[in-house]
């Protein structure tokens, strides 16, 4: 029954491994439970309601993925799109959060429609193999960069843009986590990344990084979603500006999700030689449904999380991993104070090691053919420098089309790639 429902193969998989993988994935992405309410709260939304909506929407989307797609991936509100919601739509363009949430809801409904019509799968299947390997490597570097940045090991600099950060308790804890994760993996300790996160969280207590609030209780009842549930406002919806907003949301989410799915599928070994990913339509449908339900609850757009790679690195290979992650999000509703103790620095080691694991796909890229190597390089480096999986993918795909076209290799370009390139150019012109 487990094999039928979740794709668990008892001949090659172990329950304990899948459980540890699911918990590890949750721990590395649990920061969203603290960050999403903080970001959306700047718009005037009730933070307690947003916390509940974030946890429930993440749980529903991830559980749907577990049973529909049977893949070891997890889903939660996109860090790019929650910032777009709060800082662009509400604070920048002046929409109320109710109107902005309406745009998120409509985007989710459109997402369900285009997924049902296989449009997203057509886009995914049009991506050349060398770019798929580059996407996986780029996501690895992106994940590692997130881990280094969150801990303060890498900081911003007005002259050089980035620089090595100062030695602080947070950065020192992260460095310990990176070394500890590496040592545990070399020693082949099962659940290495999971144990690294827990140990670093404990070490963070005397360092002052893991903050235990006064009167701390690990258990609490979930906050009500009433302040944000179905609070839609269509009064400003039927405008040209709102049409552009919805197109931008669709564009960002499509390529963020597609890029992440390609990268994660490459690491699980389920991607065929022709680039086919089993159950990819179901995976896309689960995030489309999650986005729609999440908007109804009061959460921003759902997407597949790159942090799923931490669970994959622990050996997660089936929907059982995502089942555990989804259940952890439900538990988080009642143990929110406990889960929110985990500092981002404690997860840095896991994120950096995941980056190391995902870099091996670089060896599969054809570096002898510059028309393949250059777009692959652009994809990888721009994911990091633009801090966006979607932008890295877009620039890499656009580079691929233009280089192939001007080098007389137009037969390497599919009709879908031509259409995408035209849309990319229009986006850059009118964005």
Helix (H) or strand (E) holding 380: helix 370-385
- Closest by CA to 365, choosing from 378, 383, 377, 355, is 377
pLDDT class of 8 with cuts at 50, 70, 90 = confident
Mean pLDDT of 17-33: 88
d(CA 166, CA 377): 30
Q: Please report the pLDDT score of residue 275 as a whole number.
A: 67
Q: Is 128's pLDDT higher than 80?
A: yes
* Confidence (pTM): 0.74
Q: Are 245 and 67 in contact (CB under 8 A)?
A: no
Mean pLDDT of 70-94: 83
Q: Please report the pLDDT score of residue 313 as a whole number.
A: 84
d(CA 376, CA 385): 15
Q: Is 419's pLDDT higher than 90?
A: no
Q: Worst-scoring range by mean pLDDT, 32-41, 270-279, 380-389? A: 270-279
Q: For 38-56, what is each residue's pLDDT tens digit?
A: 788 889 998 889 999 999 9
Q: Please report the pLDDT score of residue 56 as a whole number.
A: 95
Q: Report DSSP state, residue 230.
A: T
Write phi, then psi, for 269 (nearest 5 degrees): 80, 10
Q: For 365-417, what is each residue's pLDDT tens digit?
A: 889 999 999 999 999 999 889 887 778 888 998 999 999 999 988 888 888 88
- Closest by CA to 398, choosing from 380, 415, 420, 382, is 420
**Structure-model confidence comparison of residues 132 and 168, the more confident one:** 168
Mean pLDDT of the chain: 86
The pLDDT > 70 percentage for the chain reads 98
Q: Please report the pLDDT score of residue 80 as a whole number.
A: 66
CA 355 to chain centre: 14
pLDDT class of 274 with cuts at 50, 70, 90 = low
């Amino acid at each position: 029954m487990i094999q039928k429902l979740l794709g668990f193969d008892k001949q090659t998989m172990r329950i304990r491994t899948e459980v540890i993988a699911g918990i590890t994935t949750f721990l590395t992405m649990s920061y969203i439970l603290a960050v999403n309410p903080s970001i959306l709260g700047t718009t005037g939304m009730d933070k307690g309601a947003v916390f509940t909506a974030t946890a429930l929407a993440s749980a529903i989307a991830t559980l749907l993925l577990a049973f529909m797609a049977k893949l070891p991936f997890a889903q939660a509100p996109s860090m790019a799109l929650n910032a777009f919601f709060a800082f662009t739509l509400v604070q920048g363009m002046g929409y109320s959060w109710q109107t902005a949430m309406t745009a998120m809801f409509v985007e989710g409904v459109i997402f369900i429609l285009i997924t049902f019509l296989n449009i997203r799968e057509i886009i995914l299947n049009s991506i050349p193999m060398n770019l798929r390997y580059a996407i996986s490597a780029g996501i690895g570097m992106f994940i590692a960069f997130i881990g280094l940045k969150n801990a303060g090991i890498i900081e911003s600099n007005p002259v050089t843009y980035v620089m090595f950060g100062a030695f602080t308790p947070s950065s020192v804890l992260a460095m310990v986590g990176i070394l500890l994760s590496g040592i545990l993996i070399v020693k082949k300790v099962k659940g290495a990344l999971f144990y690294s996160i827990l140990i670093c969280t404990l070490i963070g207590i005397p360092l002052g990084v893991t903050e235990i609030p006064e009167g701390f209780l690990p258990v609490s009842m979930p906050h009500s979603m009433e302040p944000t549930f179905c609070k839609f406002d269509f009064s400003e919806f039927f405008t040209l500006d709102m049409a552009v907003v919805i197109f931008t949301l669709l564009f960002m989410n499509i390529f963020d999700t597609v890029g992440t799915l390609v990268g994660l599928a490459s690491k699980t070994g389920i991607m065929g030689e022709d680039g086919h990913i089993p159950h990819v339509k179901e995976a896309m449908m689960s995030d489309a449904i999650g986005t729609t339900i999440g908007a109804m609850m009061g959460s921003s757009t759902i997407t597949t999380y790159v942090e799923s790679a931490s669970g994959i690195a622990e050996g997660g290979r089936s929907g059982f991993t995502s089942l555990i992650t989804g259940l952890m999000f439900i538990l988080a509703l009642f143990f929110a104070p406990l889960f929110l103790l985990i500092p981002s620095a404690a997860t840095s080691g896991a994120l950096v090691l995941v980056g190391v694991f995902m870099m091996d796909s670089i060896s599969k890229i054809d570096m002898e053919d510059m028309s393949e190597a250059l777009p692959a390089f652009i994809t990888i480096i721009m994911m990091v420098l633009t801090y966006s999986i979607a932008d890295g993918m877009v620039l890499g795909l656009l580079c691929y089309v233009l280089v192939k076209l001007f080098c007389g290799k137009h037969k390497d370009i599919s009709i879908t790639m031509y259409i995408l390139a035209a849309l990319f150019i229009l986006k850059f012109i009118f964005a």
